[in-house]
Chain A
Amino acid sequence: MKNKMIYGVTGIFDTPDEIISAAKQVKAIGFERFDVHTPYPIHGMPKAMKLGASPLGYFALVFGLTGAFAAFALMTYLMGYNYPLIISGKPFIPIPAFIPVTFEVTVLLASVGTVLAMLFLLFKFPNNSHPLHDTEYIKRVSSDKFGICIEAKDEKFREDEVIEFLKSIGAKHVEVIYYDNETLNFKVNIFEWKFVTFLVVSALVVSGATYIVLNKLMFASPFNWMMEQNRIDAQVESKFFGKDNFSMRVAPVGTVSRNSNQFKFSGQPELADAKLVNPLIPTEENLRKGMKKYDIYCSPCHGYHGLGDARLNGQFPNPPSLHSEKVRNWGDGHIFYVITEGQNSMPSYSSQLTNEEKWAIVLYVRALQRAMNAKEEDLK
């Protein structure tokens, strides 16, 4: 026994009243490092031991505030700056809508954080070899007895005196507890091969599982149900609407966009060429509008510069260049006519574009042509 390190001295009592008075006396003598073990919580014990307030409340406060601020900041950043979305006509940073989430995250972090702090910081959780374990003392105080343990670390601790003292205040069974030498001399070695292998294996398992889940499992039935919806994708063959196998519907023949008048020169391109005058003047605003609409509606076939070299090249009859002698000599009305009525394999854009937009496109096409075939005077 001599070569063992002493942990403390324990004494056992029979009734709750006895243990309360024992705790009071131990405290009165001036012991600081002692603990009481009872099979169930005893009213008035914290007072008898003169325990101060638990620090746990501060953990709850700090974690709670962290949760509140983090949730609020995250939502503000995401909804207000990173990916602003209008939701039911509310501002991008709708504070009332943030409050429930802020509240939830506050509660979540405060409760989880407090429990973890309690386990790991106050109970020193991973340390699972307490010297009191597997002693006669702990067996009895966890069934029907009440015990007190004065630790050797206490400044006032003298083994014999403490034993005598505990006996004098009525302890039934006084026992000296020693550290287990094996656990005391145990040194943690992080480079131990078992530990390292464990780390490597778990890293491999976790990353492998993650890879499989995110890249394979999510695309296998039944997890892919969200993706494999019973819907019709654009540009894909489908018999859903009828025999034409198109998934996209075309506006009924003769549909015009809102605010467009009926076209008076249907089937008469020459007349349109002669009679129609572009009502827009080439201001920067009109040209920009024309460019925008041209890039959306015309560029897929004609290309951004009207050369006929667009990204649909090869999948569709190649359109001719808009810089041909022919088109350059057309009047504005003729281009307007082609947009409105279509020409051979080029469809009509009447249902998508208003008259004003069409004229803006005409302006822009003219600008493109001018750019490709600049006159002497333009260069000056």
Chain B
Amino acid sequence: MTAINYQRKELPSIMLKTGVLLFLLGLIIALLGYAIDHERAAFNGVILLMFVMSVGLGSLFLIGLEYLVGADWSVSFRRIMEILAIVVFAVPVFSLPLFANLHTLFHWTHIEDVLKDPILKNKMPYLNEMFFSIRSTVAFVLMFIFWWLLAGRSFGQDSSPREDFRKVTVRISALFMPIFAIVLTIMAVDWLMSLEPHWFSTIFGVYYFAGTFSVALAVVTLFAIYLNENSYLGEGIGGDHYYNFGALLFAFTNFWAYIAFSQFLLIWYANLPEETFWYLHRWEGSWAVVSIGIIIIHFIVPYAVLLPQPAKSDPKRLKFIAWWLVFAHFYDLYWLVMPTYSSGGAVFGWMEIYPVLISLGTILILFYYFAKNKNLLPIGDPKLPKSINFHL
């Protein structure tokens, strides 16, 4: 096979500048928010936390998936995911202000109310501050460990490739998958579902996963296309990589819709008051508009845009829809979190911007710094030439 021709190019400083600008702007708004209305700021903090976790943990998942299924095509941009996954280290940082505000966020932390409420009382062995903190801490630690095992170890391969690297990493990926599923479900249940502690839905973890996958893939797609177009990836990845991005984004748009609808259908059909109220909250006042909006934004638009075959390999449309899916995930989290804060009608103000600014800023800054002095192609991977020449 042909040798790879790759000269490292440092990322442009505009990327860092944009990142810092977004981050600082977001930080100011967040600080102001916590000063003025700490409750609202904390709820937005949950959106921030879950978005960053989606991108970080989702990238780790994509890496694990590649090893596990033995994919060739994704090797050429695996570095992007490996670098992107570094944002898992930001997740605990974003959880700190929330831990300081647990009482504001979570009804189940009010022991006096819980003791009066037989349902919450029975949930106490799981939903208590002590166990909650332990779970989150363990989840964070697991994310770090697996970041090192799946992503961190790979950078050394560029200079001194180890022969059994792939074999070992495949095993690690196999171990990672169930742990990933458990960690992700626990985080989704703890930080999102327990905002309304009476409510439960067994599919909720999968629902959050569907969003995670599509947003992580969307962010990877954006990085891959922008870096490729400005020739940061050596001679570049061919057209069929783009087609795969498009096809996968399309598939997971459908997957999200499938899961979201399944959750709704079962609850709607069974019509049990202990389950339906969650949807009814999201149907009160202007929330109804937001709820309808999620169908359009998270499903109909990306579905329609990605349906034609040429759209899946057209970088312009791919970039548009990837940005769109990033927006859709924010929207989804907003829809999951905010009705608890303001029941009866949707609220949107300057404060709701800060999760977006901070998470985008964080991703850009961390990516820039971490990519410094690193190859953007895993040049030590024997599969790389095959991957670059990937054709469907």
Contact = CB atoms under 8 A, between A and B. Distances in A.
Interface stretch (B34-42, B227-235, B245-253, B265-273): B265-273
A57 B308 contact: yes
Interface in A154-188: none
Contacts of A251: none
B126 interface: no
A100 B309 contact: no
Interface in B304-330: 307-310
Contacts of A61: 307
B131 interface: no
A90 B268 CA distance: 10
B271 A99 contact: no
22 contacts: A43-B391, A43-B392, A44-B391, A53-B309, A53-B310, A57-B308, A57-B309, A61-B307, A88-B269, A88-B271, A89-B271, A90-B269, A96-B261, A96-B264, A96-B265, A96-B268, A96-B269, A97-B265, A97-B269, A99-B261, A99-B265, A100-B265
Nearest to A64: B307
Interface in A293-317: none
Which residue among A44, A90, A96 has the maximum number of chain B CB atoms within 10 Å of its CB?
A: A96
Interface of B: 261, 264-265, 268-269, 271, 307-310, 391-392
Contacts of B308: 57
Nearest to B262: A100
The 4 closest A-B pairs by CB, nearest first: A43-B391, A96-B268, A96-B265, A57-B309
A90 B270 CA distance: 10
Contacts of B269: 88, 90, 96-97
B294 to A, nearest CB: 15
A137 to B, nearest CB: 27
A336 B287 CA distance: 59
Interface in A193-210: none
A53 B314 CA distance: 14
Nearest to A56: B309
Nearest to B239: A47
A51 to B, nearest CB: 13
Contacts of B264: 96
B295 to A, nearest CB: 11
Which residue among B264, B269, B310, B391 has the maximum number of chain A CB atoms within 10 Å of its CB?
A: B269
Interface string A52-64: 0100010001000
Give the bracket for the number of chain A residues in contact with chain B.
10 to 19
B270 to A, nearest CB: 9
Contacts of A96: 261, 264-265, 268-269
Contacts of B268: 96
Contacts of B391: 43-44
A88 B268 CA distance: 11
B216 to A, nearest CB: 26
Contacts of B265: 96-97, 99-100
Nearest to A43: B391
A44 B238 CA distance: 12
A53 B265 CA distance: 38
Given A53-B310, A57-B309, A96-B265, 19 more contacts: A43-B391, A43-B392, A44-B391, A53-B309, A57-B308, A61-B307, A88-B269, A88-B271, A89-B271, A90-B269, A96-B261, A96-B264, A96-B268, A96-B269, A97-B265, A97-B269, A99-B261, A99-B265, A100-B265
Contacts of B392: 43
A211 B386 CA distance: 62
Nearest to B310: A53
Contacts of B271: 88-89
A88 to B, nearest CB: 7
Contacts of B307: 61
A97 B271 CA distance: 13
A57 B312 CA distance: 13
Contacts of B309: 53, 57
Interface in A72-94: 88-90
Nearest to B390: A43
A44 B310 CA distance: 16
A96 B265 CA distance: 6
A88 B266 CA distance: 13
Contacts of A57: 308-309
Interface in A84-133: 88-90, 96-97, 99-100
Nearest to A58: B308
Contacts of A97: 265, 269
Nearest to B307: A61
B1 to A, nearest CB: 14
A106 to B, nearest CB: 12
Contacts of B310: 53
A97 B268 CA distance: 9
Nearest to A95: B268
Contacts of A100: 265
A60 to B, nearest CB: 10
A96 B276 CA distance: 14
Nearest to B308: A57
A99 B391 CA distance: 37
Nearest to B392: A43
B28 to A, nearest CB: 44
A88 B272 CA distance: 12
Nearest to B261: A99
A46 to B, nearest CB: 10
A97 B391 CA distance: 41
Contacts of A99: 261, 265
A188 B261 CA distance: 53
A57 B310 CA distance: 11
A317 to B, nearest CB: 52
A69 to B, nearest CB: 16
Nearest to A57: B309
Nearest to B265: A96
A88 B271 CA distance: 9
Contacts of B261: 96, 99
A22 B269 CA distance: 61
B86 to A, nearest CB: 35
Contacts of A89: 271
A18 to B, nearest CB: 18
A163 B169 CA distance: 56
Nearest to A99: B261
Interface in A316-348: none
Nearest to B270: A88
A43 B389 CA distance: 11
Nearest to A61: B307
A15 B261 CA distance: 51
A37 B264 CA distance: 51
A99 B265 CA distance: 9
